[in-house]
Amino acid sequence: MQKTPVVSVSGLHKTYGRKNEQQYEALKGIDFTIDEGEFVGIMGASGSGKTTLLNLLSTLDTPTSGSVEVNGQDITGFKGKALSDFRSEEIGFIFQDFNLLESLTAKENIALPLSLQGVKKAEISKAVKEVATTLSIENLLSKYPTELSGGQKQRVAAARAIVHRPAIIMGDEPTGALDSKSARDLLDLMTDINKNQHVSVLLVTHDPFSASFCDRILFIQDGQIGQELKKADNNRQTFYQEILNQLGTFEQ
Amino acid sequence: MLTKLSLAGIKNRFKDYLVLLTGLIISAAVFYMFANLATNREFVKSNTQISMASQVFIFGMILLILITIVYIAYANSFLLSMRQHDYGLFMMLGAKKNRIGELVFIETLLIGVISTIVGIVLGIGMSMGLSQILFNQLGLTVHHFNALYWPAIVTTICLYVGLFLLSGIFNLTKLVRTPVLKLLHIDDEVYLPKRRPLVQLTEIVAGILLLAIGYVAMAKIMTLQLLAVPLALVTITLGSYLLFSAVIVGAVELLKQTNFANKKLHNFTLAQIMFRVRSYTRILTIVSLLFALALGAISVGAGFQRQAPQMAKSTSAYTMAINDMDKKEHNLVSQLNDTHTLTYSQKIVGNTVYYNEQEFVDHPLPMLDSRQALNDGSLKTLPIAQFKKVALNDMDFTGLVPKNGQQKSEFATQSDFENLNTATTHTVTIIRLNNVLAQRKILDRLEKLQQQRFPAPTMATVGGFQTYKMFNALFSGLEFMGFFLGFAFLAMLASCLMFKILSGANKDVVRYNMLNRIGTRRVLMKQAVRGEILTLFALPGILGIVDVLFGLQVFKPLMYHPNAMTGWSILIFCVLYGVYYGITTLIYERLVIPKEQMNA
Ligand SMILES: Nc1ncnc2c1ncn2[C@@H]1O[C@H](COP(=O)(O)OP(=O)(O)OP(=O)(O)O)[C@@H](O)[C@H]1O
Ligand SMILES: [Mg+2]
């Protein structure tokens, strides 16, 4: 079966700094695609351009040149309303921290993307209940973020990221602030969402364990994609080992 | 090195500092303006023949000092909220606590001194401007007023520099005592609203009850006498506080149940308000009271002043009497609009002035319905027999004689009058007009002409105009002070509220940043900011207006229509308050709403 790409990136360049200031080229021509329902990881050393890439894919920043297409639409020219509507409809975010609004309950946090789209109250309630059941956080819905543990917060954040059925979920080191147990739970959850709800996932991480949950891993080196690893039919353990080996070759 | 780092921090947040400085400068300017009046004994004495005036000023001064303290406390917390993270970081990097303390102290004091000096200069300018406006536009006459007044400058400097010394010491101890980690995470503390319907209900009932007691106390000032004011102050303060905390929480909870909450960012705005209720109730209470005081001061001042024309009507049956009107005067009189004129003949024999009775039959001279205080100025005409009896004891009639000595008045029948053998027949012309205020310039010239021709030992002319001028002079001072007090309070309270709101901006930066990331349109974020701040401005404003409407009942024994000028003052107030609201939202939006894209 031929899969259609959800994200397709070509010739992406990003140079920081104004013309007359000191300039730094963080991305030097990136090309790749993410298919529908794929779980893709992006790895690379610190400063290699992972966050930069994610910011461009999610329209938080604009590329110097090149194009990013999401669901066949070029998103690099988006401005104003089109921009925010794209974010709220097509993308689900999970960040490392400041994920939730601490003045809203878990339920209200999850409902936020739907409220922004003007969905009716009854439908919102239904959708929130549904994701909450999937992620087994029904009993946390009426709590405020300060009453939740780090892992629980990320679950709520994940619920908010998928409640509006985005084209793709993006995470920038979402497990970065979690202990290993919670991190594992969140990764299992994301895999679950990816497999059962067929939502594509793009995960930025520098942790090999997190990366082993992906179907495919792109390694960024000095602003370019250097290597690509596919899980194929390997189990997670072998894939983890493969990733470690790959990282080892970088260090030499 | 540390000084350099600290200066770099200031440079980074230059706009925030500009906000802080501007606010403090305005506050110092307003305080100076007020101190200028309050410390000027000559001014207070010469402009208010009322012994209470100086007490009113001392009371006002104490209030203003209290507001200033609250104000500077808020401004200082704004400063601290901007800086504590930086300083926490410096300490974590190994800077000595004492050195940090020193820096903070100097920074605080420097900001204080700069804003005080600039504020005083601005205050002098504003005093000049405002007094010019009041003198020219309202026809007020005020003596002994100087825009530049040294005792006021000294008072302002003492208070402000003193307060900033205290703030500096406070900041120093706070930074030195607080553990570094806490300084770095100070913004993370949150307050979770608890749902307690029973407590809320009790609060609402108690709040309304207390407000009612306060309002009744003010309405019954005649029976309660001096007790009314402190009683009202305490009950209204407590009542407002309880009502605010209960009503806001209750209303937000109700709204959250509705469909409204699920639309756009409404839920977010409601949550923001809910979260801030506790820290806001106190300031909202203070603001509503100050709002009432300020509005009250202006309404009362303006009300008394506007009362002068009414008093002119109620103290005399006519506006002015003109003896032996000549051509010049006739010209002036014909320029007056909406007038009634009556002319009577007079013959003077020895020390007695005779009037032709028949003229009063043909054109009766109206008399005041009642001579009681606060009468409405309505007139009556009496049958001639009764008129003759009453008139000889009535000031309005006896005052019609030419003003060159003590004279007696007598009535004569038409034939007797015609038979009186005198060289000349005099006349007296009575003019009555409805709008004294609008035509006061012509009346003034008429009065001057009369004074030149008939120099009087005591009063210039008889009639309402003369009363008007007397009361106008008396009330001008009151109105001037009312406006000054009112605007001083308004400027201070609105700035207080502004700072309280702005000092919360730091926490909101993170929230709005997050909203931007998940794709919230900028319009929605702006609406959220406006909605939240509007609530915080509107609530105390509304309660303040209600307070004033009831509070003005205090003046019922002294004024015709205590609420007459309230509509106008409310309008002026809302405009000024609205300007503050606009500025606050603009600054807030700039502080918290992120750009849609980086480097955009
Ligand atoms: N706003 C910016 N202005 C200038 N240079 C920047 C900016 N943001 C990032 N950079 C530079 O671009 C390069 C890539 O940064 P990026 O944040 O994408 O790295 P990363 O791969 O996410 O690293 P990490 O794993 O540490 O998060 C770095 O060298 C960084 O210094
Ligand atoms: Mg990064």
Same domain, B155 and B234: no
Residue B372: pLDDT above 80? no
**DSSP letter, residue A4:** P
pLDDT bucket at B378, cuts 50 / 70 / 90: confident
Looking at the DSSP bridge assignments, the partners of residue B352 are B349, B408
Does residue B499 lie within any of the structural domains? no
Cβ atoms < 10 Å from Cβ of A130: 12
Same domain, B390 and B288: no
Taking the centre of ligand 2 as the mean of its atom positions, its distance from the CA of residue A206, in whole angstroms, is 9
Same domain, B6 and B113: yes
Same domain, B23 and B44: yes
Same domain, B59 and B69: yes
Which residue among B134, B157, B188 closes a domain? B188
Task: Please state which of the ranges A239-243, B390-394, B412-416 shows the lowest mean pLDDT.
Answer: B390-394
Most confident of A50-64, B241-255, B395-409: A50-64
What is the residue-wise DSSP string for A48-89? SSHHHHHHHHTTSS--SEEEEEETTEE-TT--HHHHHHHHHH
Average pLDDT on B553-576 reads: 71
Taking the centre of ligand 1 as the mean of its atom positions, its distance from the CA of residue A222, in whole angstroms, is 11
Domain that holds residue B143: 1-188
Yes or no: say if B540 and B497 are a contact pair by the CB < 8 Å rule.
Answer: yes
pLDDT bucket at B557, cuts 50 / 70 / 90: low
- Asked if residue A44 has its Cβ within 6 Å of ligand 1, the reply is yes
Average pLDDT on B199-225 reads: 81
Which candidate from B514, B516, B597 shows the least CB-CB separation from A101?
B514
Q: Can you give the pLDDT at residue B64? A: 76
How far does A121 lie from chain B, in Å, by closest CA? Answer: 6
For residue A206, which atom of ligand 1 is closest to its CA?
25
Residue B497: pLDDT above 70? yes
Does residue B501 lie within any of the structural domains? no
The structural domain count of chain A equals 1
More confident residue, B36 or B58: B36
Residue B194: pLDDT above 70? no
Same domain, B10 and B46: yes
Residue B138: pLDDT above 90? no
Q: Can you give the pLDDT at residue B44? A: 67
Chain B residue at shortest CA distance from A164: B518
Task: Please state which of the ranges A75-84, B217-226, B437-446, B457-466 shows the lowest mean pLDDT.
Answer: B457-466
For B531-568, b where at least 16 C-beta lie within 10 A, e where not — what string?
bbbebbbebbbebbbbbbbbbbbbbbeebbebbbbbee
Same domain, B84 and B233: no
Q: Can you give the pLDDT at residue B203? A: 85
Q: Can you give the pLDDT at residue B120? A: 94
Task: Please state which of the ranges A156-160, B76-80, B143-147, B394-398 shows the lowest mean pLDDT.
Answer: B143-147
Does residue B500 lie within any of the structural domains? no
How far does B96 lie from chain A, in Å, by closest CA? Answer: 31
Task: Please state which of the ranges B102-111, B497-506, B509-518 shows the lowest mean pLDDT.
Answer: B497-506
Task: Please state which of the ranges B40-44, B63-67, B333-337, B392-396 shows the lowest mean pLDDT.
Answer: B40-44
Yes or no: say if A159 and A191 are a contact pair by the CB < 8 Å rule.
Answer: no
Q: Can you give the pLDDT at residue B482? A: 73
Yes or no: say if B325 and B333 are a contact pair by the CB < 8 Å rule.
Answer: yes
Residues with CB under 5 A from ligand 2 (ion): A 51
**Which residues in chain A are closer than 8 Å to B193, comparing Cβ atoms?**
none
Nearest CA to ligand 1 atom 9: A52
Same domain, B439 and B354: yes
Does residue B68 lie within any of the structural domains? yes
Which residue among B442, B462, B482 closes a domain? B462
Average pLDDT on B136-140 reads: 60
Q: Can you give the pLDDT at residue B467? A: 78
pLDDT bucket at B517, cuts 50 / 70 / 90: confident
- Asked if residue A46 has its Cβ within 6 Å of ligand 1, the reply is yes
pLDDT bucket at A202, cuts 50 / 70 / 90: very high
The structural domain count of chain B equals 3
Same domain, B58 and B171: yes
pLDDT digits 0-9 by tens, A211-223: 888 889 998 888 8
pLDDT digits 0-9 by tens, B420-471: 888 778 888 888 888 777 787 888 888 888 888 877 655 555 777 877 877 7
Same domain, B321 and B303: no
Average pLDDT on B27-49 reads: 75
- Asked if residue A143 has its Cβ within 6 Å of ligand 1, the reply is no
Same domain, B183 and B197: no
Tell me how far CA of residue B527 lies from CA of B184, B498, B524, B589, in angstroms: 31, 18, 5, 10
Residue B406: pLDDT above 70? no
How far does B254 lie from chain A, in Å, by closest CA? Answer: 15
CA dihedral B408, B412, B414, B420 (to 10 degrees): -70
Q: Can you give the pLDDT at residue B154? A: 92
What's the ipTM? 0.85
Q: What is the CATH number of the domain that holds A109?
A: 3.40.50.300
Q: Can you give the pLDDT at residue A1? A: 45
Domain that holds residue A182: 5-251
Average pLDDT on B225-238 reads: 76
Does residue B113 lie within any of the structural domains? yes
Average pLDDT on B252-273 reads: 78
Same domain, B355 and B447: yes
Residue B9: pLDDT above 90? no
Assigned token pair, B55: 């007490």
**Which residues in chain B are closer than 8 Å to A144, comparing Cβ atoms?**
190, 192
Chain A with chain B: Cβ pairs closer than 8 A: 98
What is the residue-wise DSSP string for B389-450? HHHTT-HHHHTTS-SSS--EEEEE-HHHHHH---S--EEEEEEEES-TTTTHHHHHHHHHHH
Q: Can you give the pLDDT at residue B556? A: 65
Average pLDDT on A32-41 reads: 89
- Asked if residue A48 has its Cβ within 6 Å of ligand 1, the reply is yes
Nearest CA to ligand 1 atom 30: A47
Q: DSSP H helical segments within B503-521, as ranges?
A: 505-517
Residue B243: pLDDT above 70? yes
Q: Can you give the pLDDT at residue A21? A: 77
pLDDT digits 0-9 by tens, B94-116: 777 778 888 888 888 888 999 99
**Which residues in chain B are closer than 8 Å to A121, comparing Cβ atoms?**
259, 262
Average pLDDT score, chain A? 85
